[in-house]
């Protein structure tokens, strides 16, 4: 089989323009609403420092080995024509994994785009100043009314999907890589400025203590472990084919373990800086950090109103959310576009708009789930939360397990190690033991817990 044969499983000829292309785009995929909005409230609810510690352990024991495995298989299926590798593609197992990953990508993107739309609305409100003119006490009501409106959330959600589609249809280098080259520096600058700003506020020390000082008593609570592992999955975006897809555009000379370390470092740095920015500010204003999912959209805007220079803070904060969301949405759309192009042999210029519109339509119920469709609930969860729950807590870990089984049990140790650039590394036994035994066991524990607890 030739590398440019579409039946090879990837889009012919597309590749990152440079070594940093892959790293920037994967950090772009990983760093998003999950690092800012989800990380801060999950950390708040799960005791801060202890959560952070367990989160970092989960990144090392679950996230890192899966990123390496996903990237290795993605690149090898395109470039390595050894029978042991090419055989993988024929396996039902592989096709089932790709299907699960595409379903997970569609599902996650459909609700993620809605939250991204809220962020865009708030960004515009910060830029034109209207957000700062709402009385502090009115922010809860403002947010509640906005997300319950029948048309507005759908429009903002549509705008975010439109931007994502326009970028993805331009291709790997011109679209995805260029967008990440512009948005990622913006994201890093915004989060760093916010963290510095947060630390200069009086009372910020309590926020730092909350984020970094472990309250050891909480180590006894199993939920904290599960929350940390679930957050690691979602925040890195592992368990679906993001790294397979982006890895297939990676040049053969680039070393996967180094890239994987850069990715987890970059993603964790964004989460920590966002955590510092948020908790120093929240503590400086004496607010309960366990404020829940509304932390970003109600609690913080309330503080921005009172803050000197609050408008700049608000612009940076919601700009950060929008930039992070967009680079993550691009990767989610690309997972299904790459799969679709390979299946139908359509051009991406045709596949991207069709899938973009499909995802937009799939997201409409999530966008209306707080107003017109608020009566639709399962187990006390609305539409958006239910899809988030099913996709993040079930499909992602399930996809992760399928991939680990494929690499750990069916590929063969030597071909997998070579593909991962670990064949001559002292870390080879550790990585393979993680992929084969330890990581799947940990993931299985999360999955079982979800099912047992319902
Ligand atoms: N990791 C992204 C975030 O933290 C979300 C995401 C999930 C992206 C799954 C890709 C795949 O916001």
356 lines ligand 1 (CB under 6 A): no
Binned at pLDDT 50, 70 and 90, residue 3 comes out as very low
In sequence order, what are the residues at sequence separation of 6 or more whose Cβ sits closer than 8 angstroms to the Cβ of residue 197?
Answer: 277, 309, 313
Phi, psi for residue 110 in degrees, rounded to 5: -60, -40
Q: Is 233 in the pocket of ligand 1 (CB under 6 A)?
A: no
Segment of 10-19, 294-303, 429-438 carrying the highest mean pLDDT? 429-438
The alpha carbon of 323 and the centre of ligand 1 are apart by a number of angstroms equal to 13
pLDDT of residue 10: 45
pLDDT at 157 over 80: yes
* Residue 107 binned pLDDT confidence (cut-offs 50, 70, 90): very high
Averaged over 92-114, what is the pLDDT?
Answer: 95
Lowest mean pLDDT among 35-44, 72-81, 176-185, 248-257: 35-44
Residue 51 has pLDDT above 80, yes or no: yes
Kindly tell me if the per-residue pLDDT of 8 is higher than 70.
no
Q: Does the Cβ of 33 fall within 6 Å of ligand 1?
A: yes
Question: Mean pLDDT score of the chain, rounded to an integer?
Answer: 91
* Per-residue confidence band for 450, with pLDDT thresholds at 50, 70 and 90: low
Q: Report pLDDT for 453.
A: 63
Q: Which tens digits make up the pLDDT trace of 200-242?
A: 988 889 989 988 888 888 888 888 888 888 889 899 999 999 9
CA distance 454 to 450: 6
Candidate from 43, 63, 112 with most ligand 1 atoms within 8 A of CB, to mutate: 112
Which residue, by CA, sits nearest to atom 9 of ligand 1? 237
Q: Is 34 in the pocket of ligand 1 (CB under 6 A)?
A: yes
Ligand 1 centroid to residue 57 C-alpha, Å: 19
Q: What is the pLDDT of residue 306?
A: 84
Task: Determine which residue's CA is closest to atom 11 belonging to ligand 1.
Answer: 237
Q: Is the pLDDT of residue 136 over 80?
A: no
Instruction: State the distance from the centre of ligand 1 to the C-alpha of 205, rounded, in angstroms.
Output: 30
The string of pLDDT tens digits covering residues 278-331 is 989 888 888 777 666 778 898 888 888 888 888 999 999 999 999 999 999 999
Least confident of 6-20, 35-49, 99-113, 330-344: 6-20
Tell me the CA–centroid distance for residue 159 and ligand 1, in Å. Answer: 19
Q: How much distance in Å is there from the Cα of 126 to the middle of ligand 1?
A: 25
| 390 CA to centre of ligand 1 in angstroms | 15
Q: Specify the pLDDT at position 261.
A: 98
**Residue 266 CB–ligand 1 contact under 6 Å:** no
Q: What is the pTM of this model?
A: 0.93
* Any atom of ligand 1 within 6 Å of the Cβ of 234: yes
């Amino acid at each position: 089989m030739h590398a440019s044969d579409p039946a090879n499983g990837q889009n012919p000829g597309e590749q990152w323009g440079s070594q940093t292309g892959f790293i920037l785009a994967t950090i772009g995929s990983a760093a998003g609403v999950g690092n800012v909005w989800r990380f801060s409230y999950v950390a708040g609810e799960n005791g801060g420092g202890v959560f952070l510690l367990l989160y970092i352990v989960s990144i090392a024991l679950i996230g890192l080995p899966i990123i390496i495995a996903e990237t290795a298989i993605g690149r090898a299926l395109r470039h390595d024509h050894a029978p042991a590798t090419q055989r993988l593609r024929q396996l039902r197992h592989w096709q089932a994994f790709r299907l699960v990953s595409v379903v997970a990508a569609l599902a996650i993107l459909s609700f993620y785009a809605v939250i991204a739309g809220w962020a865009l609305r708030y960004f515009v409100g910060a830029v034109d100043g209207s957000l700062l003119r709402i009385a502090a006490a009115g922010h809860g009501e403002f947010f509640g009314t906005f997300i319950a409106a029948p048309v507005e959330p759908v429009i903002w959600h549509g705008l975010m999907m439109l931007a994502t589609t326009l970028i993805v249809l331009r291709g790997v280098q011109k679209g995805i890589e260029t967008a990440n080259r512009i948005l990622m520096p913006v994201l890093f600058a915004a989060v760093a400025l916010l963290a510095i700003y947060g630390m200069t506020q009086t009372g910020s020390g309590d926020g730092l203590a909350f984020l970094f000082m472990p309250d050891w008593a909480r180590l006894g609570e199993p939920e904290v472990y599960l929350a940390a592992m679930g957050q690691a999955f979602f925040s890195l975006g592992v368990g679906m084919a993001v790294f397979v897809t982006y890895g297939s555009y990676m040049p053969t000379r680039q070393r996967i373990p180094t890239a994987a370390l850069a990715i987890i470092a970059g993603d964790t740095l964004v989460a920590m800086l966002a955590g510092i920015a948020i908790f120093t500010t929240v503590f400086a204003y004496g607010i309960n950090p366990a404020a829940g999912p509304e932390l970003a959209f109600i609690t913080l805007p309330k503080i921005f109103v009172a803050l000197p220079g609050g408008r700049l803070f608000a612009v940076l904060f919601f700009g950060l959310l929008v930039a992070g969301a967009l680079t993550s949405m691009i990767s989610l759309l690309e997972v299904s576009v790459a799969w679709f192009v390979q299946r139908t042999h359509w051009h991406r210029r045709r596949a991207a708009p069709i899938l973009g519109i499909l995802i937009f339509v799939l997201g409409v119920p999530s966008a209306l789930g707080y107003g017109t469709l608020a009566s639709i609930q399962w187990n006390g969860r609305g539409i958006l939360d239910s899809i988030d729950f099913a996709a993040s807590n079930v499909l992602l870990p399930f996809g992760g397990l399928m991939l680990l089984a494929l690499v750990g049990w069916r590929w063969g140790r030597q071909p997998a190690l070579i593909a991962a650039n670990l064949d001559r590394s002292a870390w080879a036994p550790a990585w393979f033991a993680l992929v084969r035994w330890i990581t799947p066991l940990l993931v299985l524990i999360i999955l079982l817990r979800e099912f047992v607890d319902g």
